């Protein structure tokens, strides 16, 4: 008789082959050659801000990087204490803004925004805009503003002088760029130079030169705007950079009059926002300081969001998770972790033999707490458990039917969570921010199971099972926190097939569980009888 395990092993093998096949196909299609996969630098950036809040209404808004075809953002993460974070989309330019507001006490706050970026200047700098949208947007970028004095006679005269004799728009832009890049000097200035000042002084920094170029373009009827961001270079810096985007041949084309780049920018230009804005805006804040810490990743997979008309290419592209916006990437990250947690549960159950309460309970609990320090996660869990068990004790006296009783417990757990969030809001801990992720239903069932176990099998059994659960949660917690794993899963989601293969193999494991070496230890001395 053929054991079903043989089929399972064949299937597991097939899945592994399939995973490798899908990955290599994707890899070959997207990069043409295998060595191409490891090209183009990946930068790890941490944006550190510290400030003192003077008032509970204090806030800071800063620009967060957004995705484009040429700019790739992954592994976005935040570290903060006593502030609440929100993402907003602001302005005509639809910039991505990270707003943090004071929560809890006034005083010194530190916020860290971490992300990885890869920039590929072979990809289009901007995507074509729909016709209707163009008609609405393009006139907006012809406006005269306080710092971009496009309607000033001096600017107008200069623009006319530079472009006279040229009817082609592209040539006009070229002339304006050449003037700003080569005839206006590069010079450090204090504060912010406007277009006129820059023209008068015949020199300025990136901001002044860029504003001048935008103003000159606008003066001849070409839409243009500022873009701001970071020049990527290893080390610590607190200077951002500003350049120009010109509406040319139906798309936005970048120019950097300071560093003299026209139409394409080097792969070190990280775009943070568009428009004439400061990097940060704030209210009720003292001693605001910030710096960027930039490092290069030693090993990376190149990102794959090519815009291509080739069908196969775009199918392969659509499988890349990194093309998703950062907000969705976060959800995928969580989804990807869960199967890994389930695999750990399989190993713990069937190979090690550690008892736990609920099948996937430990994996879900670990997911709920993996953002907070472990001790806080476990403490919260135990607080809820003891709260739940005391309520369960009262429920027992009331002799309620099962489902209503569980529903009461669920509601109590939720009330407990709300109270915890409110309490921790004013205390020096980041616990409250993540506690909402604890799966309430799992928590409710955990309480009920603990109660039943204690009642039916005694405290010791309950305690053992609870300890088993905590051990499993802890291990899964560390697995979840292991960055390379989640990054690998994200870049190579085919690994899920390999995880299924591993699960199939655990499913065929019929030898002893580790715990059974202890359980059956006393049988070592007996005689073999038949």
Chain residues binding another protein by CB under 8 A are 4-5, 350, 353, 399, 401-403, 452, 456-458, 461, 508-513, 516-526, 528-530
CB of 449 to another protein, least distance (A): 11
For CA atoms 7, 9, 10, 16, the dihedral sign is positive
Smallest gap, in angstroms, from Cβ of residue 395 to another protein? 11
Q: Where are the alpha helices (DSSP H) in 46-152?
A: 131-137
Q: Angle at CA 376, nearest 5°, toward 371 and 382?
A: 120
Query: CA–CA separation, 216 vs 209, rounded Å?
Result: 11
Compute the distance between CA of residue 259 and CA of residue 22 in angstroms, rounded to an integer: 43
Contacts of 99 (CB under 8 A, 6+ apart): 59, 60, 61, 85, 86, 87, 88
Measured between its terminal Cα atoms, the distance across the chain in Å is 25
Classify 354 as helix, strand or coil: coil
Which one, 255 or 451, has the nearer CB to another protein? 451
Instruction: Measure the CA–CA gap between 207 and 204, rounded to whole angstroms.
Output: 7
Closest CB to another protein among residues 289, 510: 510
Sheet holding 261-262, edge to edge: 261-262, 251-256, 241-248, 224-231, 269-274
In this complex, which beta carbon is closest to another protein, that of residue 131 or of residue 524? 524
* Nearer to another protein among residue 190 and residue 398 (C-beta): 398
Q: In the bound complex, what is the minimum distance in angstroms from residue 347's beta carbon to another protein?
A: 12
> Distance from CA of residue 161 to its chain's centroid?
48
- Closer to another protein by CB, 45 or 344: give it: 344
Token pair in block for residue 218: 């606008």
Q: Which is nearer to another protein, 182 or 509 (CB)?
A: 509
- Beta carbon of residue 137, minimum distance to another protein (angstroms, whole number): 59
Q: Do 320 and 303 form a contact (C-beta atoms < 8 A)? A: yes
Is the Cβ–Cβ distance between 70 and 125 less than 8 Å? Answer: yes
- Edge-to-edge order in the sheet of strand 235-237: 71-80, 107-119, 42-53, 285-296, 235-237
Q: Judged by CB, which is closer to another protein: 30, or 395? A: 395
Min dist. Cβ of residue 364 to another protein (A): 18
Nearer residue to another protein within complex by CB, 352 or 374 = 352
Instruction: Compare residues 2 and 375 and give the one whose CB is closer to another protein.
Output: 2
Q: Are 107 and 68 in contact (CB under 8 A)?
A: no
Q: In the complex, what is the shortest distance from the CB of residue 410 to another protein, in angstroms, rounded to a whole number?
A: 16
**Least distance CB 469 / another protein (angstroms):** 17
Q: Closest approach of Cβ 103 to another protein, in Å? A: 41
Tell the smallest beta-carbon distance from residue 479 to another protein (Å).
23
Number of residues in the chain: 530
């Amino acid at each position: 008789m053929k054991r079903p395990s043989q089929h399972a092993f064949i299937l597991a093998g097939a899945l592994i082959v399939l995973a490798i096949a899908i990955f290599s196909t994707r890899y070959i299609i997207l990069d043409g050659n295998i060595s191409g996969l490891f090209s183009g630098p990946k930068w790890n950036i941490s944006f550190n801000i510290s400030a003192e809040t003077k008032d509970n209404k204090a806030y800071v808004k800063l620009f967060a990087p957004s995705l484009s075809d040429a700019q790739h953002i992954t592994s976005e993460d935040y570290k903060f204490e006593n502030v609440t974070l929100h993402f907003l989309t602001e302005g005509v330019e639809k910039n991505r803004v990270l707003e943090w507001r004071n929560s809890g006490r006034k005083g010194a706050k530190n916020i860290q925004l971490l992300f990885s970026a890869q920039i590929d200047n072979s990809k289009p700098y901007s995507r074509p805009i729909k016709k209707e949208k163009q008609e609405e947007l393009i006139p907006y970028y012809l406006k005269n503003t306080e710092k971009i004095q496009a309607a000033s006679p001096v600017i107008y005269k200069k623009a006319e002088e530079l472009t006279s004799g040229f009817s082609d728009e592209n040539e006009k832009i070229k002339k304006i760029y050449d003037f700003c890049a080569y005839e206006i000097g590069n010079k450090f200035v204090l504060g912010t130079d406007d277009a006129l000042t820059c023209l008068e002084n015949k020199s300025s920094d990136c901001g002044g030169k860029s504003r001048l170029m935008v103003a000159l373009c606008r003066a001849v009827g070409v839409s243009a705007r500022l873009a701001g961001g970071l020049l990527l270079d290893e080390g610590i810096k607190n200077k951002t950079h500003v350049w120009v985007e010109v509406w040319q041949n139906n798309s936005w084309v970048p120019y950097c009059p300071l560093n003299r780049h026209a139409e394409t920018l080097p792969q070190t230009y990280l775009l943070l926002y568009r428009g004439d804005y400061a990097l940060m805006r704030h209210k009720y804040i003292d001693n605001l300081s910030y710096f960027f810490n930039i490092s290069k990743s030693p090993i990376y997979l190149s990102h794959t969001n090519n815009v291509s008309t080739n069908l196969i290419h775009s199918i392969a592209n659509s499988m890349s998770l990194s093309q998703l916006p950062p907000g969705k990437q976060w959800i995928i990250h969580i989804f990807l972790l869960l199967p890994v947690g389930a695999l750990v549960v399989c190993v713990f159950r069937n190979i090690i033999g550690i008892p736990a309460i609920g099948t996937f309970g430990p994996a879900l609990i670990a997911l709920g707490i993996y953002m907070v320090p472990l001790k806080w996660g476990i403490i919260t869990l135990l607080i809820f458990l003891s709260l739940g068990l005391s309520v369960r004790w009262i429920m027992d006296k009331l002799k309620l039917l099962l489902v209503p009783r569980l529903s009461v417990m669920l509601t109590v757990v939720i009330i407990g969570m709300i109270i915890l969030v409110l309490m921790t809001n004013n205390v020096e801990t980041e616990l409250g921010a993540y506690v909402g992720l604890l799966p309430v239903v799992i928590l409710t069932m955990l309480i009920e199971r603990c109660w039943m176990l204690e009642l039916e099998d005694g405290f010791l059994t309950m305690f053992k099972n609870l300890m088993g659960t905590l051990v499993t949660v802890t291990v899964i917690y560390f697995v979840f926190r292991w960055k390379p794993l989640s990054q690998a899963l994200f870049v190579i989601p085919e690994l899920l097939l390999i995880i299924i293969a591993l699960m199939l193999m655990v499913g065929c494991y019929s030898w002893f569980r580790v715990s059974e070496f202890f359980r059956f230890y006393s049988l070592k001395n007996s005689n073999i009888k038949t």
